[in-house]
Amino acid sequence: MARRAKGRPVNGIFLLDKPGGMSSNRALQIVKRIYGAAKAGHTGALDPLATGMLPLCFGEATKFSQFLLDADKRYVTTAKLGQRTDTSDADGVVVEERPLPENLSAAQLDELLQREFTGLITQVPSMFSALKHNGQPLYKLARQGIQVEVKSRQVTVFSIELLDFRGDEVDLDIRCSKGTYIRSIVQDMGEMLGCGAHVKMLRRLDSGPYKAESMMPLADLEQRVADMGSDATPESIQMHLDTLLLPPWSPVADTPEVLLTELQTSALCKGQRVMLDPFEAQPLVRIRDAASDKFLGIGEIDADGQLLTRRLMNTQDM
């Protein structure tokens, strides 16, 4: 007999403003417990030092988490010049100190950033990253003193803006593709300047379609529950919490939508062919039942007008 998951069937996405000093998984488990959710996952870990946007997917929303993992991101960071740490951030131990270049100006620094760190760039992720080697996260190996070869990768930095330059500290606003390591940018910048550098502060503002103004700090979420008082029933608390969730399909909200008739919906749910007429070939579409207005999943329309499914919702829990 299959084991029943503990918790209730929560479906949606919560945009958490992750606090500093906490791992992404720890933050996920706290919010999952608050919601009493049976199934949850996060989309793209933030280092304990980092704060900001951490989309948490509950239930059926986990089927669309890959779209957030693959999405573009936006960060603000403060780089500390003149010091290199073993983790490339302020959580590490300072392993080297070097003087800053004489008479370094904001204009010179900005010129370096635009020349070397915009567009398609190659970087080597830090050993203190969540990338895996033979199934083990690199940061776990690094903490054991184990060094492995980390392959370089190409990423895209759409823009990098110098916000402020205060002697030995640099504030940057970076918009980039998935897989970009801000610590690597800061570390490489420090080496090009000849003085070394590490990340002092890192905050993720945007992730894919989600913007900074939409996220909620963990303390605010906990306070909302506390403010409902001891007289609030578990059901009323759950209903209130669920109003804070975005729909499971929000990661693909900007894709074209296909509305199906009752017969087409029935055929789709039975695994039968669904032909569209008229049609336009599309690599990704949202699928919705016209009569009930239920979101059914995502798919694609091939050159013959056939609707091919990629991910379908379990509508019994919706």
Residues in a beta bridge with 301: 282, 307
The two most distant CA atoms of the chain are separated, in Å, by 74
Please report the sign of the dihedral spanned by the C-alpha atoms of residue 195, residue 196, residue 201, residue 204: positive
Q: Of 17, 47, 206, 289, which residue is the catalytic one? A: 47
In 3D space, the residue among 211, 249, 195 whose CA is nearest the CA of residue 57 turns out to be: 249
What DSSP designation does 246 have? B
User: Can 302 be counted among the known catalytic residues?
Assistant: no
Using CA of residue 29, residue 34, residue 36, residue 38, what is the dihedral sign? negative
Neighbours of 214 (CB within 10 A): 13
Q: Looking up tokens 């300047």, which residue turns up?
A: 193
- Tally: H helices and E strands in the chain: 8, 17
Task: Give CA–CA dist 94/91, Å, rounded.
Answer: 9
SS3 content of the chain, % helix, strand, coil (to 5): 30, 35, 40
- Cα(307)–Cα(285) distance, integer angstroms: 9
Active site residues: 47
